Amino acid sequence: MDSNDFSMYELLQIRAIPFPQPKEYGGGWWCVSWNVEFTPREIPHGLRLPAPVGDMGDVALIVAVLPRDPGRITVEVLSRHERLFGEEVAYASMVMQSLRDLYHEIIIDGYNDHPILHMS
């Protein structure tokens, strides 16, 4: 079998979920954000950022979990890099996993099983 032959896959089953586009925040900071929906549709409570695991090196990162409406929050990550890199993506993934653990089912940017949930 040719390793470049993808004809056996049905194209409708392959999802391409784009990573959020970074926005220049000013002062050398960049912002990446995800919209998260959860049930029950209530004001979020019990939100806590997870402790970083392992050595994150010289990572300069600010993370905010911002309640928007009942059942809706925005997760913003501020970084000195235009694109998040390894440890930054891993920590953003940990934040999303902690939200999933709290609410069991979450929808990130319209997707039930967003790839950011699997990056740490």
What pLDDT does residue 10 have? 53
What pLDDT does residue 12 have? 47
What pLDDT does residue 99 have? 93
The angle subtended at Cα 36 by Cα 50 and Cα 116, nearest 5°, is 60
List per-residue pLDDT tens for the chain, 120 residues long.
455 555 554 544 456 788 899 999 999 999 999 999 998 888 777 888 888 877 777 778 999 999 999 999 999 999 999 999 888 999 999 999 999 999 888 999 999 889 999 988
| Size of the chain, expressed as the number of residues it contains | 120
What pLDDT does residue 4 have? 54
Contact 75, 65 (CB under 8 A): yes
Cis status, amide bond into 40, omega within 30 of 0: yes
What pLDDT does residue 2 have? 53
